[in-house]
């Protein structure tokens, strides 16, 4: 019975994550495609995976990225994260004030859960990609996600994080705490 429930949950995860299959493909701006290809090709002769991404705001490219995990020795060196970081470097905290409904991310490969999380966290919901993740990859991620959720636990700390938030000037300002 447990196995059946796990398979059903993974099936729901796949349906949710593969919803794009029911939508028609988008005709992408050729300039964007050329930039994506050029960025990805820079990784062709290194140990990096040739993946690239661009972040577009009001039809202007505000961030570009390519995979740089090996080059920068950073686990977060994914193309989508690098494009977000470049845009944030340009705008600073003003980035948060930009109208996210006018922001689009184009990437050569469907974003991984880490990149998806960063996009969701920053309100970027228009995501377009060339190559989808394989069904096998989706199954594995669904299973890993279930295992993660089953194993995560809170630890006892006497509200350490809550107290840190309460001491932070930004939190105090927004929550009117003295």
Of 127, 115, 123, the closest CA to residue 66 belongs to 115
Any catalytic annotation for residue 72? no
Neighbouring C-beta atoms of residue 133, cutoff 10 Å: 17
- The vertex-20 CA angle with 14 and 21, nearest 5°, equals 80
Task: List strand residue ranges (DSSP E) for the chain, in order.
Answer: 52-57, 60-66, 103-109, 126-131
Neighbouring C-beta atoms of residue 95, cutoff 10 Å: 19
Catalytic residue chosen out of the listed positions 34, 71, 80, 131: 80
Half-sphere exposure (CA, 13 Å, Cβ side) for 46?
16
- Which residues are designated catalytic? 80
């Amino acid at each position: 019975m447990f196995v059946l429930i796990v398979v059903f949950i993974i099936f729901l995860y796949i349906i949710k994550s593969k919803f794009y299959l029911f939508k028609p493909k988008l005709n992408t701006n050729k300039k964007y495609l050329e930039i994506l290809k050029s960025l990805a090709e820079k990784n062709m002769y290194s140990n990096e995976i040739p993946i690239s991404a661009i972040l577009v705001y009001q039809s202007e490219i505000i961030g570009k990225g390519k995979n740089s995990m090996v080059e920068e020795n950073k686990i977060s060196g994914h193309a989508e994260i690098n494009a977000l970081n470049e845009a944030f470097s340009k705008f600073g905290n003003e980035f948060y004030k930009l109208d996210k409904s006018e922001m689009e991310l184009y990437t050569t490969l469907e974003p991984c859960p880490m990149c998806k999380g960063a996009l969701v966290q920053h309100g970027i919901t228009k995501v377009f990609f060339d190559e989808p993740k394989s069904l096998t990859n989706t199954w594995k991620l669904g299973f890993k996600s279930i295992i993660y959720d089953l194993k995560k636990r809170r630890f006892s700390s006497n509200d350490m994080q809550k107290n840190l938030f309460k001491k932070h000037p930004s939190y105090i300002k927004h929550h009117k705490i003295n």
